[in-house]
Amino acid sequence: MFWKTSPLPDSQSVSHQDKNSLLREKRISSLSEIPKIIQQLVTAILAGFLFHWLHIPVGWLLGPMLVGIAYAVIKGDLQPFPSTFKTVGQVIIGIVTATRLSPETLSVATSYAIPMLLCVLITASLSMLSGYLLSRWAGIDATTCFLGFIPGGASSIVAMSEEIGADTLSIAVIQYIRVLLVVLILPTVATLLFPTNPDTQVTATVVITNNLPTLPMLLNLLILVVCGGLGIWGGRQFRLPSSGFLGPFLVGLVVFWMLPFQIQMPQPLFYAGQLLIGLSIGVQFDWQTVHKLLRAVFIEVGLVIVLILLCLGVGYGFHVVTHVDTVTAVLGFTPGGIEAMIATVMQLGGDTGLVLAMQLTRMLSILLIAPWLVAFLVKRAKSAHSQLEEEEELVELNRVEP
């Protein structure tokens, strides 16, 4: 039997050729970006080593972040950096956090439930007030400013803004400037104001518990990889905010609590996670958009500094009431990204579980309320806009009539 193939119509043939040419162009452009990405990674590694050698707090996050900012400013636009790298960084920090969170920590956190919820409410209200003031003083719509000042899960907020039709670029600039200021200012301030005991800082490995048998390193790493893969899949399936962090964290938490072995995260991997997160934040620094929003940026810088000081006061008040160590209390209520704050508390030597509980409680509470609040603001803005148009039409009609 012979199979006969009929030629495609001209239109289908041209369309097929166009698709092939587009795919070829994408491959070529992707390959051309590889040297730039390698250069960014190498420079970030050198900066991480330098900051770590200088004993700068969270040096493996701050150094690469400043490298990313420098690249974005010099080139004048957003720099290519695969989102996969940021996801890997989130996965590493999420798994490390899971190794640090024990059932005992959760039971301790529940004993602080009332003051914790009160402080979460206060800091969330302060963030919303900052967004409102930015809207009034900078002349930007309230929806953009509210979303820009929501603490925690910056990538989730930006994605949310796309779905509701808000100004995504402005929200991204406001979010990342807030995160940059908090990550740059807070570790140093916390170290100066509340020096910690060096013995409590993370050392060779980050482990969940002691007095348990260890596994061969290859099997240990395999478990970490499986937890990370399942966490990413589960986080996306359930549409978790900051799914790259929360998914692996929740899966790792279950697995590590069930296994009768000591699971270790090698310190170089922890540094690599900080590096990838810091670099991914830095390269998102859009100088052109910042230049367009220059007035709003200056106002935001002042508002964020005031917000940091107020949150420091809230955290210190939590410390006074509950007698939790000051580093944990302060970092638990900072208006910064959850991954950056978790990395910071691990470096400075606080209670990671409590900081995570505080940050997650506030982030999830705001993310649950934010869609309803934003929908209300968008509806109100559209109603006000349509009412303004009707008034302008009436004015025009009155001018036309004798």
CB burial of 217-253 (b: ≥16 within 10 Å; e: otherwise) equals: eeebeebbeebbebbbebbeeeebbbbbbbbbbbbbb
- Tell me the residue type at 103: P
Let me know: does 72 contact 222? Beta carbons within 8 Å: no
- Tell me the residue type at 319: H
Span of 36-45, 50-59, 201-210, 298-307 with lowest mean pLDDT = 201-210
Q: Which pLDDT does position 17 carry in this prediction?
A: 56
What is the average pLDDT across 369-376? 65
C-alpha angle with apex 62: 60 to 63, nearest 5 degrees? 70
397 vs 341 pLDDT, higher one = 341
Span of 54-63, 265-274, 319-328 with lowest mean pLDDT = 54-63
Q: Any idea what DSSP says for residue 262? A: B
pLDDT band at 275 (very low <50, low <70, confident <90, very high): very high
Share of the chain above pLDDT 70, in %: 67
Q: Which pLDDT does position 55 carry in this prediction?
A: 75
What is the average pLDDT across 275-303? 82
C-alpha angle with apex 282: 339 to 60, nearest 5 degrees? 60
Average predicted confidence (pLDDT) for the chain: 76
Let me know: does 327 contact 349? Beta carbons within 8 Å: yes
